[in-house]
């Protein structure tokens, strides 16, 4: 363990020396934002390297690197996205390290009645009693729709479903709603919007029907600043960074 931290310190020093004038560019899925902002600031304190982060959905991340292989130096994305990018030679598969998973959560307006999602039975009852159910058209929303069918309530709630484009649109729709409406989003996204005062986190969906999207980091093959990028990726593996991710709602597979 001691040798690992000495190696990390050496890399940070080298990165700072090589990249004092150059910013490190990172592409990231939005689900990582809440923890990554703090981690980037901590990394700058130690290395002197400013981290520029561009957030995008998984399909947009693939599009960005397809159009410009050198668009950034490092990436944080869902595992299937990184697998596709590695297959296309856009990221270095040997550098991929798992960060953790993000589950689905329920959100409401800050002044809305709080639905009971503490058990699967209570969750099903809250679904049927809701005035509206809001989720996105992306992969997480597709999972929620399949879940409604799996637990046998889809036909009962079909007329209440509101589908929007993405997580931000879910939060916006919930904020402007009324009555007993609630939405679904990634746990970290909901916490982020709660931090902004937009919505209120009710809690994760019941564990027996929970679905975790796993995220990892990797070096972009055509990185313009590979040394500081590797230092940043090494920093993501430290207990300090892992604790920040955990506090932001990211769940370790090894928990």
Model confidence pLDDT, tens digit, residues 20-43 = 446 899 999 989 999 999 999 999
Which residue blocks in 76-198 are alpha helix, DSSP H? 79-87, 120-129, 139-150, 154-157, 167-175, 187-195
- For the chain, what percent of residues have pLDDT higher than 90? 80
Burial 143-154 (b: 16+ CB within 10 A, else e): bbbebbeebebe
Local confidence band at 137 (pLDDT 50, 70, 90 cut-offs): confident
Looking at residue 22, what is its pLDDT? 67
pLDDT class for 10, splitting at 50, 70, 90? very low
- Cβ-based burial of 68 (10 A; exposed 0-12, middle 13-18, buried ≥19): exposed
Q: Do residues 191 and 34 make contact, with C-beta atoms less than 8 angstroms apart?
A: yes
Specify whether the CB–CB gap between 194 and 201 falls below 8 A: yes
The closest alpha carbon to 119, from 110, 129, 127, belongs to 127
Sign of CA dihedral 216, 218, 220, 223: positive
**Measured at the alpha carbon of residue 39, what is the angle toward residues 38 and 45, in degrees to the nearest 5?**
95
pTM: 0.83
Instruction: Give CA angle at 201 (149, 192), nearest 5°.
Output: 110
Cα 151 to chain centroid distance, Å, stands at 26
- Checking if the pLDDT of 121 tops 80, the result is yes
126-143 mean pLDDT: 92
Q: How many helices (H) and strands (E) does the chain have?
A: 11, 10
pLDDT higher than threshold 70 for residue 98? yes
- The pLDDT-based confidence of 165 (bands split at 50, 70, 90) is confident
Q: From the CA atom positions of the chain, what is the Rg in Å?
A: 20
- pLDDT, residue 16, reads 45
Report the relative pairing of strands 132-136 and 181-186 from DSSP bridges: parallel
How much is the pLDDT for 8? 46
Q: What is the pLDDT of residues 178-217, one digit of tens each?
A: 999 999 999 999 998 999 888 999 999 999 999 999 999 9
Residues 250/100, Cβ–Cβ less than 8 Å: yes
pLDDT at position 163 over 50 = yes
Confidence of residue 254 (pLDDT cuts 50, 70, 90): low
- φ, ψ dihedrals at 2, nearest 5°: -60, -40
């Amino acid at each position: 363990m001691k040798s690992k931290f000495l190696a990390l310190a050496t890399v940070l020093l080298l990165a700072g020396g090589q990249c004092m004038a150059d910013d490190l560019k990172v592409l990231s899925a939005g689900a990582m934002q809440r923890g990554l902002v703090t981690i980037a600031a901590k990394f700058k304190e130690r290395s002197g390297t400013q981290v520029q982060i561009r957030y995008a959905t998984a399909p947009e991340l693939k599009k960005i690197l397809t159009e410009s292989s050198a668009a950034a130096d490092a990436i944080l994305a869902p595992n299937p996205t990184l697998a596709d990018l590695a297959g296309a030679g856009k990221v270095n598969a040997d550098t991929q390290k798992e960060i953790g998973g993000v589950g689905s959560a329920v959100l409401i307006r800050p002044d809305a009645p709080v639905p009971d999602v503490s058990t699967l039975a209570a969750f099903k009852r809250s679904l049927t009693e809701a005035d509206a159910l809001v989720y996105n058209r992306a992969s997480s929303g597709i999972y929620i729709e399949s879940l409604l069918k799996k637990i046998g309530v889809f036909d009962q709630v079909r007329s209440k479903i509101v589908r929007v484009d993405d997580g931000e649109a879910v939060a916006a729709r919930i904020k402007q709603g009324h009555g007993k409406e609630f939405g679904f989003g990634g746990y970290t996204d909901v916490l982020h919007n709660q931090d902004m005062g937009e919505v209120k986190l009710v809690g994760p969906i019941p564990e027996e029907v929970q679905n975790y999207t796993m995220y990892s980091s990797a070096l972009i093959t055509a990185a313009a600043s590979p040394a500081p990028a590797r230092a940043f990726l090494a920093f993501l593996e430290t207990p300090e960074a892992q604790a920040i991710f955990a506090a932001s709602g990211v769940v370790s597979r090894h928990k």
